[in-house]
Structure 1
């Protein structure tokens, strides 16, 4: 058994987030584990940029109300206890609604290739894309 020491809470960088986002790295597995888990806290209106995960991602909401949306126009409203899976290669974004905070666990796997990108980040979600996901 081993007690793990996580890095300090980090502010989400403005290059990949809009608004105030904070995260805690819960777990980053070492081979043979490739598991990654972060607790991510979004202020109202805060959201990720468009992004894609090489091996997919699972989001589990613990507090508040959030949105996850994909490039094909699918939108899911997430509430505490909800779990949403985005498959490998699916471009998506997620964040809080305009009037609620949202906290989720982000769970994904590394690729097993130290040189490969686990997450590819794209452009910021526009205000119009964000508003239209809340309709």
Structure 2
């Protein structure tokens, strides 16, 4: 019996999939990985053979990630609010809607909202051996408030 192209594509995992808005629950950022309130809305998980995933992260004013690195780097697309990003040893930089930020693999950094404005960004990263981030120590209030 002949199998239609469409059925063969489904059997071979080559069919287009749609994840509907609201089908994936939001996750609150773990206190070990974030200072303040950060909500993570998963957008997509890696689909083999790809190892790329993405999520929308919304930080309340004053909230930020802990210091961290990504084994294959990370792209951020700012969609709302105003925030900061800082690479270890570098200056804190303002980020706003429409900004696209690339952080190279292994670069220690943090990002989050300013003290007075929330921030939402889409984070896109690739995994190595199933891991797309290496979490480190929290960003202290002194580090957060410092201009450098």
What TM-score comes out, normalization by structure 1 length? 0.91
Q: CA deviation at 1:65?
A: 0.3
Post-superposition shift, 1:118? 2.1
Could you tell me how far apart the structure 2 residues matched to 1:120 and 1:18 are? 16
What is aligned with 1:127? 141
* Equivalence map 1:83-122=2 (5 Å): 83-111=100-128, 113-114=129-130, 117-122=131-136
1:80 deviates by 0.4
* Secondary structure in 2 matching 1:2: coil
**How do 1:22-33 residues align onto structure 2 when only pairs under 5 Å count?**
22-33=39-50
Match of 1:74 among 71, 91, 107: 91
Which SS does the other structure have where 1:62 is aligned?
strand
Offset of 1:73 from its aligned partner? Answer: 1.9
The number of equivalent residue pairs is 131
Between structures 1 and 2, the one with greater strand share: 1
Residue deviations 1:68-112 (CA, integer Å, cap 9, x gap): 10112232210000011100000000000000010000011112x
Q: Equivalents in 1 of 2:104, 2:70: separation in Å?
A: 8
Q: Which runs of 5+ in 1 are unaligned?
A: none
Partner Cα distance (1:3, 1:105) in 2: 18
Report the Cα distance in structure 1 between the residues aligned to 2:65 and 2:118, rounded to whole angstroms.
14
User: Which runs of 4 or more aligned residues in structure 1 lie more than 3 Å from their structure 2 counterparts after TM superposition?
Assistant: none
Q: TM-score, normalised by structure 2?
A: 0.84
Q: Which ranges of structure 2 fall in alignment gaps of 5 or more residues?
A: 1-15
